[in-house]
Amino acid sequence: MKLIILRDNLKLGLDTVARAVGQNLNLPILGNVLISTEGNQIRLAATNLELAITKIISGKVVEEGSVTAPHQILASIVTNSTSERINIETTKQGNLILKGDNYESNIQSSGPEEFPVISGVSERKEAVSVDSAVLREGLTRAVIASEASDLRPEISGVLLLGEINVLKLVATDSFRLAEVRISGQQFKNNLGEGFKFTIPLKTAQELTRILKDEGKASFYTEKNQFLFKTEDTTLTSRLIEGSFPDYEAIIPKEIDTEVLVSRNELSQALKLSGAFASRTHDVRLKLKDKKVLEIYSSDNAVGENNYLIPAKINGPETEAVFNWRYLLDGLKGGSTEQVFLGLNGSERPAVIKNPEDESYLYILMPIKA
């Protein structure tokens, strides 16, 4: 095998597959990245047996072939290389030689035979296709509410729920829940049926890194596997076993007190008040005189703070205590100037959403005072 690749392209490729590189004492080859050629394309691949990522990078294929070498070594060479072009070559002894303008590395490599088979993501019609930027945005907003947990494996991921004209992304850590809706214009379901499956949190986070500002992404599932592709990258991942809880039951059917407030002001207020919150990050939200939202926090060792924000309030006056970080997370899910806050007393879930549309919903349980 003989390749000439621009340093930046190789770096991009190695970075993309980096998080799928495995550390397995039984099978050290999982720490390697597979470099292979397909016609005049160069493909990098890595897997940790839960997740596999492949990336096609551009470069010149002088002689076809394939080889695996430790990702760590390749990455440090490429990161520190000042040469614009890097020559890659395999020797007859089975070593890999990387050549820059002023260095030549000889790396112990191994053949592709022992590397796990990464199932190809086919270019097929029966898939869901969605704008890359929209999916990235949606996943970013959903994973806020998720938490990796061995205790509750069935919720440590993002639920993808496809209905005929809406794609819902849902995540929860049992204290809060985020639901992002991607509407029919922004995605296309060619599976011929609805779908419902949960991808691991790590896979979701990886997708937000892979997805770009432009272009389309598509995905489908097959035999307990999630298969995803963009123009030059593919990702396959296991699915989470066990069913995601019936989250619709959590969404409050009615809201006692509706509050409209400036998103920016509330988020500033929470950050400031957060400095006075105690170890449990608790701040008290209190509604007054139909037009003021008061945020109070205190800590024995620090002192106390009172923050008043003008608000439009509809419904009975109420108060509740929340984790201010969780509240702030909920505000990050939208970008409208105003934010809708629905309070349901001190023991039932509160709702945060955009005032006009249903594209984002964040539900949060209070802290018991």
Partner 1 sequence: MTNEELWQTVLSELELQISRPNFLTWLKNSRLVEKTEGTSLIALPNNFAREWVELKYHKLILGSIRNLDGSTKKVEYVVEGALIKRSERRSVTLKPATEGQLSFQEMKVDPITNLNPRYTLDSFVVGSFNEFAHSATSAVIQKVGVKYNPLFIYGGVGLGKTHLIQAAGNEIKNVYKNAVRVRYVTSEKFTSDVVSAIRNRRMEDVKKNYRDVDVLIIDDIQFIGGKPATEEEFFHTFNTLHENSKQVIISSDRPPKAIPTLEGRLRSRFEGGMIVDISFPDYETRLAIIKTKLQERTASLEDKIIDLIARKAQRNIREIEGILNKLIFHQSTYKQALNLSMADKIITEVTEQSVTKASPSQILKAVAGFFEISPTDLVGRARNKEFVEPRQITMYLFREMLKMSYPDIANKVGKRDHTTAIYAYKKINEIAARNPDLSQKLLMIKETVNKPG
DSSP 145: T
How many angstroms separate the CA atoms of 94 and 73, rounded? 16
Q: Can residue 301 be called a binding residue for partner 1 (CB under 8 A)? A: no
Closest CA to 164 of 143, 193, 139: 193
User: Is residue 360 a contact partner of residue 353, using CB atoms and an 8 Å limit?
Assistant: yes
Please report how the helices 71-80 and 7-17 are oriented relative to each other, as an axis angle in degrees rounded to 10: 140
Q: Can residue 117 be called a binding residue for partner 1 (CB under 8 A)? A: yes
Tell me the window of 76-84, 112-120, 255-263, 330-338 that interacts with partner 1 (CB under 8 A): 112-120
If binding means CB under 8 A, how many residues of this protein chain bind partner 1?
60
Tell me the window of 95-103, 133-141, 220-228, 286-294 that interacts with partner 1 (CB under 8 A): 220-228
Residues in the chain: 369
The helix/strand/coil state of 249 is: helix
Element (H, E) at 197: strand 195-200
Residue 303: how many other CB atoms lie within 10 Å = 10
DSSP 327: H
**Least distance in angstroms from the C-beta of 117 to partner 1:** 4
**Least distance in angstroms from the C-beta of 266 to partner 1:** 20
Residue 290: how many other CB atoms lie within 10 Å = 11
Q: Which is nearer to partner 1, 23 or 335 (CB)?
A: 23
Tell me the window of 57-65, 90-98, 132-140, 217-225 that interacts with partner 1 (CB under 8 A): 217-225
Q: Can residue 94 be called a binding residue for partner 1 (CB under 8 A)? A: no
Among 80, 102, 164, 213, binds partner 1 (CB under 8 A): 164
Task: State how far the alpha carbon of 211 is from the alpha carbons of 55, 92, 230, 257, in Å.
Answer: 12, 38, 8, 39
Q: Which is nearer to partner 1, 104 or 193 (CB)?
A: 193
Among 248, 304, 337, 358, binds partner 1 (CB under 8 A): 248
**Least distance in angstroms from the C-beta of 222 to partner 1:** 9
User: Is residue 84 a contact partner of residue 52, using CB atoms and an 8 Å limit?
Assistant: no
**Least distance in angstroms from the C-beta of 203 to partner 1:** 13
Q: Can residue 66 be called a binding residue for partner 1 (CB under 8 A)? A: no
Contact mark string toward partner 1, 175..194, x via CB under 8 A: x-x--------------xxx
**Least distance in angstroms from the C-beta of 114 to partner 1:** 8
Among 39, 102, 185, 249, binds partner 1 (CB under 8 A): 249
Q: What are the beta bridge partners of residue 182?
A: 167
Q: Which is nearer to partner 1, 244 or 360 (CB)?
A: 244
How many angstroms separate the CA atoms of 264 and 231, rounded? 37
Q: CA 176, 180, 185 angle in degrees (round to 5)?
A: 175
Q: Can residue 166 be called a binding residue for partner 1 (CB under 8 A)? A: no
**Least distance in angstroms from the C-beta of 169 to partner 1:** 17
Tell me the window of 33-41, 71-79, 146-154, 179-187 that interacts with partner 1 (CB under 8 A): 146-154
Residues 6 or more apart whose CB falls under 8 angstroms from that of 212 comprise 132, 133, 136, 230
Q: Can residue 216 be called a binding residue for partner 1 (CB under 8 A)? A: no
Residues 6 or more apart whose CB falls under 8 angstroms from that of 248 comprise none
User: Is residue 102 a contact partner of residue 42, using CB atoms and an 8 Å limit?
Assistant: no
Q: Which is nearer to partner 1, 245 or 355 (CB)?
A: 245
**Least distance in angstroms from the C-beta of 94 to partner 1:** 18
Contact mark string toward partner 1, 21..50, x via CB under 8 A: ---x-xxx------------------x-xx
Element (H, E) at 263: helix 263-274
Closest CA to 295 of 266, 326, 328, 257: 266
Contacts with partner 1 by CB under 8 A lie at: 24, 26-28, 47, 49-50, 52, 116-119, 149-155, 162-164, 172, 174-175, 177, 192-196, 223-225, 236, 238-239, 241-250, 279-282, 323, 347, 349, 363, 365-369
